[in-house]
Structure 1
Amino acid sequence: MTPPEPLKKSARTLLGIAAVVVAVEALAYVVLAVLDVADVSRDRLGLGVGAGLLLGVYGLGQLFAAWRVSQGESWARSPLIVTHLIQLLLAWNLRDGDTTWLAIVMGVSAVVVLGCLLAPPVNRALGRDIPVVRD
């Protein structure tokens, strides 16, 4: 059995960029979760707590996946790709009206993350059957 190969510098850089962007997004989701729970009123208690819990778990899951992908774990790339494809669809849905700025932010960050995660150096580095370690 061959020892794990270190990530190439270009793959490490791209994974680091993707991880930073996802971490910023994830922290925004966690902050939104806290603000949502803090603003719960009696008439929407279930909805407020449920939405806050969902946003918090989603944000923490994204943060965990970003950390693992930055360490070269290939499994963590899949949930990040799926969620950012969904984010592109949400950005398209928000493109009109007062939410245009949000659509632009969401769309640009999704394209950056997807571009980094699907780049050829990352595909070569994470497409191997052997574990990937950092050097």
Structure 2
Amino acid sequence: MGHTTPSPTPRIRLAALLVALEGVGIAAFGVLDLLDIHRDRVVLALATSLFFFAYATLLLATARGLWRLQVWVRAPIAFTQLIQLGIAWSLRDAAPLVSAVLAVTAAVVMFGTLSPGTSALLREVDEQAHDSQP
């Protein structure tokens, strides 16, 4: 009745923006892989690109969901950021700058999506959604 729809906090917006940028970056890797197809690895390139595009779609969908304060996005975002931390760890010697960017981005996104303030806001939005159902 007198409920106002909460809007995303700056920390949630930053996390959603970073996840969207990750999705765009992964999609770019898919395009680059398609552009670098060699005759002896066509199937591998197509499969890898398909995986990159599916992963990018997941990231973009979760970024949109986070921006819209949908509760379901927290688990896939946390999972993808844990994968990203693992990738950052594996790149620490070969590409320290890339490793640092991946790790810091994952940490910021994890903080933005799993912090107590975000949890409280998402819980409030979820309760309002349940209260408004007939």
Question: TM-score scaled to structure 1, two decimals?
Answer: 0.86
Q: Percent identity?
A: 30
Q: Which amino acid aligns with 1:87?
A: Q
Q: Give 1:6's aligned residue.
A: 5
Cα distance between partner residues in 1 of 2:118 and 2:23:
22
Matched, 1:101 2:90: no
Q: Give 1:49's aligned residue.
A: 46
Residues 48 and 72 of structure 1: is their aligned pair in 2 closer, same or farther, counting only changes over 3 Å?
same
Say how many residue pairs are matched: 128
Residues 88 and 64 of structure 1: is their aligned pair in 2 closer, same or farther, counting only changes over 3 Å?
same
Structure 1 gaps, min length 5 = none
**Helix, strand or coil at the partner of 1:55:** helix
Q: Which amino acid aligns with 1:43?
A: D
Q: Give 1:88's aligned residue.
A: 85
* 1:23-75 deviations in Å (ceiling 9; x for gaps): 11110111110110111111011111111110111011100110011101000
Q: Give 1:69's aligned residue.
A: 66
Q: Which amino acid aligns with 2:5?
A: P
Cα distance between partner residues in 2 of 1:12 and 1:23:
16
1:39 to 30, 36, 41: 36
Q: Which amino acid aligns with 1:115?
A: F
Cα distance between partner residues in 2 of 1:26 and 1:5:
31
Runs of 4+ in 1 over 4 A off after TM superposition: 2-5
* 1:57-97 deviations in Å (ceiling 9; x for gaps): 10111001100111010001210011101111111111013
Matched, 1:127 2:126: no
Matched, 1:118 2:128: no
How far 1:127 sits from its partner (Å)?
Answer: 2.8
Choose between structure 1 and 2 for higher RCO, CA contacts under 8 A separated by at least 6 residues.
1
Cα distance between partner residues in 2 of 1:4 and 1:75:
22
Contact 2:112/2:118 (8 A) holds in 1: yes
**Helix, strand or coil at the partner of 2:9:** helix
Cα distance between partner residues in 2 of 1:75 and 1:3:
25
